Each structure stands twice: as structure tokens, then as C-alpha cells.
Amino acid sequence: MEIAIAPTDTSVLYISAETTTGAELYFTENSAEKWYPTKNTNGSDVNWLGSQGWYDNTIAVNPYYEDEVFVGGINLWKMNMVDGVDSSLSKQITDINLINTNSFLTLYFPIDKCENYGIPSNTLESEYTSVEVRFGNGLSQKAHRFTYAPDFQYPYQDYIDVPFEIWDTDNNIQLMASIRDHDEDSTWNPKCSSEAPGGLSREYIFIHSVEYSDTADTNIAKTAGVSHKNLYIIWPEVPTGVSPNYDSLPNSKIEIKYEKLITKRINTINVTDGYGEFGGTDKGVHVDHHNIVLIPTDTSAKEFRFLNANDGGVAYSDDKGETFIQPLTGYNTTQFYGVDKKNGEDKYIGGMQDNGTWHSPINSDSTSNWINCFGGDGFACVWNYNDPNKVLASSQYNNIGKSNDGGNNWGQSVAGLDDVGYGAPFFTKLAKSKQNSDLVFAVGESGVWRS
């Protein structure tokens, strides 16, 4: 995740996050008291991170408008908040709090809905609610005791006293509970995992959407009854070195807040399109964006400089991203992986990190402008010693290019290689024979190839 705060209203924050389903923009207008997911007004999903948010993820808020934010991943995008919420509202756990429980209780896994643990349940969506598990002050109720069997086919044992109460806080109703008696000692007594059977304390708490009674519920009090109207599963543990007195626990509670998750609507506009996927243009800006800085330049006209750091160096825009300039000279922003010299001339070819392969003019010096000749991540290069028209270059995943006219025109040269494309080594190595200038070696994870 990357986070940005609006300069004009610091209670407004945005998060650019990579999730299991793609990229998500989250929004808060109350200093992170409540976060909202967002969705494009046309219903589309824009995955600006492209599953590489671990590598490039950046976000910045317009310095004059808190409802406009720029995000960057593979490409750059502009997003504007609009009034209203998404029509499809869902409910889910929005907060979990442990209050004064640290002296005797922690959680091994987060609290979750039963269905997310693979337990078939007849619980209706409308029955989910916010609840509290309350300890202390002699609080107790009865709970259905189950012992272990695979696949949640727990055998029911009896209805026992437990040192807590379960309350539906949205409706002020006490609820039924069940417990897993992992050590089969007829009590609910979580332990430190290092002291528990099998190295894990599994004295689970199951919360049911059934109003509490001192009499066991017949739908719960049977084998696999933990699934009946089951709301949540709690996996408690005891901290190392603690031995709680379950007859006299401190005043404490576990809060589970369940509420409607409102989805805010946004308009999403593509700013750069490095691979031509969105009908736009790359505007000369390199893909893979790592930083956005928006620098006010004229507050009366609400103008700013858009400064962007990407895999190709630094780009900037003075018209809010309509056009960009990415300087290629005067600022060293890359590294050479491999360089070779043309025999008999001061002419060179080199592959550069994420900036392709370039060759210099004849009689080049430190002021010469080089020419981009082969794309991708530039790696090893080989210039034939006896025939200067023959040149090899390479890029990621053992992609090898060949020129027969001294680097002006290029084609692929991978015939015979069985280690090319995704899954092949990202970094390509080439070497040439001193005895035979037409003999070249390529190194891959599964061996060495000879031309």
C-alpha cells in the first residue's frame, strides 16, 4: 500500500493498494476513522498496478483539490471523486478491537465469518450483526461444547458454563455460543500454544445468530451443530508465560463491528499508456512508476508541476499530465549491464537496465548522442570482431536480437534455444569465442547454448 494526504484538507486520505483481485483505491474523509473502497462510475476495474505493486506503486493528491488524486503503477492515472455511492452495498467486518484483553488473551488468527473458514452455514446475510465477547465482573453464560473431528464434523458433548457473554450490540440481544474443547477437559480454557496439545491452542469460540437461552438449542446441540446460524469464529490464545484464572478474568472484551461497506464512486482517466492498452499515448514517459510529486507553481491559477520518477528516470509535466518531458541527457538514471566495442572504431553498443540497447556514433565521446536500437531490459551485447556488420543484443527472458548491418536493423535470433520467454532467466548473458568470432555462447538456468 501507498498512502497520500490531501494538502487542502488533511482529513482526506487515499490509499493505493494491491489486492488479490487487482488494484484498489481507498478513500477516507474523516482522518481514517472510516475507509471506503472506490469503483469507477462506468463499472470497470482499472488495475494500474498490474500485479507488480510490490515494485512500483505511487500516489499523490492534487495540491488544490482534495477530490482529485493521481496514481502510478505500470502507467499513470487520474481519479476524481464524484458524489454518491455505488448502488450495490455489501456488509462485512469493518473493525476488530481487543480491549483490555492483552493480559490474558490474544488472537491466533483474525476473527472471520464462518463461511470464510469453509464452514457451510445457513446464516442469512441479514442476520450478520456487530457483537461483543465480554469478560470480567463474574460474566458468564452457557455454551455448547464440541470436541474435535475433521471437516468441522464436531461431535456435540454438553452445555457448559463459560467465563464470557456474547452480545449482539446492534440489537442489544444476548446470543448463543459454542466452544471447541480441544483438550477435552470439559471446560473452555485457551492455553499458550507451546503448552497446548499438538502445539496449538484450539479452544475456538463460535458465535451463533440465535437468541441466548439457558437451555441448549436443538439445532446447535448435535454433531456439526457449530455451523447452525454461525456468525463468527474466534481463535483465542494465551500469551507466553500467562496462566489466567478463568474464574476471575479482568474486565475486557472483543468487539466485532459489522456494517455496510459503502463504495464511493470515481471517474478514472488514463494519463500515460506505455503499452497502448487504453487507447491513449505513452507521451514519451517510461512505464513503471515509483514516485509522484506535485509541486505548486501558480496558486492563483491552480497550476502545478507534475514530477514523476519511473524506470526510465524522471519525467515532468506542467499541464497536469496532458504532456510530459522526459530528459534523456544530462541526468544519469540507468546502469549498463553489458557493453562491447566495434573492432577498429570508437563505436560502442550497450544494454541498459529497463532502457533497452543503444549504440553510439562513430568516434563517440562523452558528449555523443547514442541511438536506441533494441528494446526491453538491455543486457549483454556482442560485436563480431572480424565482421563489424554482425551484432547481438539481449533483453529479459533470453530474448536475443541480431543485426547484420552494424546495428541499424534488428531481428530475433533465438532459433534452437528452448529457454526463451516467461520462465527463462530474466538476465541474459552472452560471450564470444576469441578463436572463432562467429561462435557465441548464451547462458540460461538449464544450461549453456552455443551458436
Report which residue type is found at 298. Answer: D
- The answer for residues whose C-beta is within 8 angstroms of residue 266's C-beta and 6 or more apart is 25, 38, 39, 40, 41, 79, 80, 81, 82
What is the per-residue pLDDT across 214-257, written as a single tens digit (0 to 9) for each? Answer: 999 999 999 999 999 999 999 999 998 888 999 999 999 999 99
Residue 115 phi/psi, 5-degree rounding, is: -65, -25
Here the cell at position 35 is: 475507509
d(CA 203, CA 154): 13
Residue type at 271 in one-letter notation: V
pLDDT of residue 93: 86
Which tens digit of pLDDT belongs to each residue from 95-141? 899 999 988 999 888 888 877 777 778 999 899 999 999 999 889 99
Pick from 329, 330, 334, 359: which is nearest to 346 by CA? 359
Per 3-state DSSP, the chain is made up of helix, strand and coil in percentages (nearest 5) of 5, 45, 55
CB of 402 closer than 8 Å to CB of 411? yes
Q: Using an 8 Å Cβ cutoff, are 382 and 348 in contact?
A: no
Length of the chain: 451
Q: Are 205 and 179 in contact (CB under 8 A)?
A: yes
Whole-number pLDDT of residue 245? 93
The three-state DSSP-derived secondary structure of 353-369 is CCCEEEECCCCCCCCCC
Query: What is the structure's pLDDT at 127?
Result: 94
Would strands 399-403 and 391-395 be described as parallel, antiparallel, or unpaired? antiparallel
> Among 76, 36, 42, which Cα is nearest to 56's?
76
Q: For the chain, which ranges sit under pLDDT 50?
A: none
Predicted local confidence at residue 114, as pLDDT: 79
The per-residue pLDDT for 87 is 55
What is the rounded (10 degree) CA torsion for 283, 284, 288, 289? -70
Phi and psi for 24 in degrees, rounded to 5? -130, 140
